[in-house]
Amino acid sequence: MTGRVEHYLSHQVATRPNALAFEDNTGVRVSYLELDVSANEIGARLTDLGVAPGDRVLMLAENCVAAVALLFGAWKIGATVVPFNARQTAGEVQKIIDHAEPRVLVCTSAASPDAASHGARFGAIEAAGRFGTLAFAALDGGMPEVETDVAILLYTTGTTGTPKGVMLTHENVRFGGLTSANLRRMTPDDVIYGVLPLTHVFGMCSVMAAAVYTGAPVRLAARFDVAATYEALRSGVTLCSAVPQMHALLMAYTKKMGYARLDSPTLRYVSSGAAPLDPAWKRQAEAFYGVALQNGYGMTETSAGTAATSNVIGDPDISVGPALPGVEVALDMDAPGSGDGVGEVITRGPQIMKGYYKNPEETARVLSADGWLHTGDLGRIDDKGHLHIVGRSKELIIHGGFNVYPPEVEAALNDHPQVIQAAVIGHKVGADEKVLAFCQVADDSDVTVEELRAFAAERLAGYKRPSQIILASSLPAAPTGKILKHKLLEAFADQIG
């Protein structure tokens, strides 16, 4: 497998130029030929603004056709794209600018009020085309420093202090797209719901790149909206990739509407990523969708994919599946938190990042000389060779001398019918760590903390039970829907005892 991501687009233009490629909720629709022409127009505009091969182009975006056209336009001229969600604050954007030193900032101003606001601060000038509207602003970026084989520079969610920019090459992104398409058995007849942000590795590789490789059209959604997602999945969509929080909110919404299941006549593939599953929740989700719920494991540093399932509906397997073709997975049993068959997950293969931008020390810490990436996740491998993720090594809670893995506690709480989703963290008190649980429930829920305590006590050993349970109508989340655990203590500081 050699080449660049834009070669996937070239293939579709050569074979299916007039087929629908992408559409968004601003009403823009483009064929592959129109996407290609748009990319060339954008590439020319970037060149006029001084962008040269190896330069960085900061893309402040929410999902829309214009964002896809910008990606391919930048790649065609050898630039590296820095995708960043427009919902981030001005301070967070500036931190990325200071670190990445982009030559140009481009905002998806028509699709995102937040992007338009960022663009206005930099005096960005709008330009319209068949792709929609983008706003361009030249910056005082440095000379090219990223090699032209780097397609995207992704900054990880919840970055504090010095940002970590993950360099993913064209080969990384192509591998992510190819592997995801093959795993899902995608064809040009599929219709993909693109609700995962293109500024996140999951949406970039497993949705966008997979779609262009296959030739399947994508319906892009700027943001996750539960009602819009409900309608989309019942109106022609065949594939939907999401995170557990999105699935949970969709099931809660459908129940509120008075329906027990989705009843989509076309949906054939549903996947979940970014968080472990529990058996009861998986059964509930499969009954809701009427198709198997596939699970997977990946991270920004692994181009989204490392392992994934291909199960039939009703399979009790709650692992993240075996390693993807061409990928190796093993356990480091000497890492912190290891023991009883649990070790740090390490992986290598064509999905592994090139490294962290401007951070050779951190790159060397996680990436060995022989290509093994130390993920920081704890897992075990069963007798079928399937990987089970038990938690992050940094999130491991040591309570009373025992290891407590947050996903296990979260799974127990998620079993309760009135809990939409749960998040569990450790809270240092003296020499010990307390187990804190945050449960999102519906506004009209009548569940009590006492009821949840009793519910958890039936399912968890004493040392695993939360010392405090906090109920909330919402939890701090990233644009993907993934709960931002590092913000929980701050968000609920007045309630933590």
Residue 111 has pLDDT above 60, yes or no: yes
pLDDT one-digit tens code per residue, 402-460: 668 787 788 889 888 888 888 898 887 765 678 899 999 988 788 999 999 999 988 88
Which CATH number is associated with domain 396-491?
3.30.300.30
Please tell me the predicted confidence (pLDDT) of residue 135.
Answer: 98
- pLDDT above 60: residue 161: no
| Tens of pLDDT, residues 297-342 | 998 999 978 999 999 999 988 899 999 999 999 999 988 878 889 9
CATH 3.30.300.30 residue ranges for the chain: 396-491
Mean pLDDT of the chain: 90
- Contacts for 427 with CB less than 8 Å, ≥ 6 apart: 433, 434, 435, 436, 489, 496
What's the whole-number mean pLDDT along residues 246-267? 89
Q: Where are the domain boundaries for CATH 3.40.50.12780 in the chain? A: 6-171, 224-393
Q: State the fold for domain 6-171.
A: Rossmann fold (3.40.50)
Report the pLDDT value the prediction gives residue 347, as an integer from 0 to 100.
Answer: 97
Residue % of the chain over a pLDDT of 90: 65
In angstroms, the first-to-last Cα distance of the chain is 55
Q: Is residue 360 classed exposed, middle or buried when 0-12, 13-18 and 19+ CB atoms within 10 A define those classes? A: exposed
What residue has token string 């070790």? 343
CA 179 to CA 291: how far, in whole Å? 21
What pLDDT, in 10s, does the model give residues 192-240? 999 999 999 999 999 999 999 999 999 999 998 999 999 999 999 999 9
Using CA atoms, how far apart are residues 187 and 437, in angstroms rounded to an integer? 42
Q: Yes or no: say if 333 and 343 are a contact pair by the CB < 8 Å rule.
A: yes
Largest CA distance in the chain: 65
Q: What is the pLDDT of residue 280?
A: 78
pLDDT of 278 > 90? The answer is no
| Range scoring the smallest mean pLDDT among 3-17, 90-104, 212-226, 477-491 | 477-491
Q: Looking at residues 32-47, what average pLDDT do you find? A: 98
What is the reported pLDDT for 128? 96
The set of residues, in sequence order, having a beta carbon less than 8 Å from that of 407 and lying 6+ positions away, is: 275, 276, 389, 390, 391, 424
Which residues make Cβ contacts (< 8 Å) with residue 85, sequence separation at least 6? Answer: 60, 61, 62, 197, 199, 200, 478, 479
- pLDDT category at 148 given cuts 50, 70, 90 is confident
Instruction: Give the pLDDT score at 159.
Output: 37
Question: Percent of the chain, pLDDT > 70?
Answer: 94
Note the CATH number of domain 224-393. Answer: 3.40.50.12780
Report the range of poorest mean pLDDT among 101-105, 356-360, 480-484, 493-497.
480-484
Q: What single DSSP character describes residue 464? A: G
Pairwise CA distance, residues 81 & 79, whole Å: 6
Residue 160 has pLDDT above 60, yes or no: no
Tokens found for residue 264? 């989509």
Q: Where are the alpha helices (DSSP H) in 90-199?
A: 90-100, 113-121, 170-184
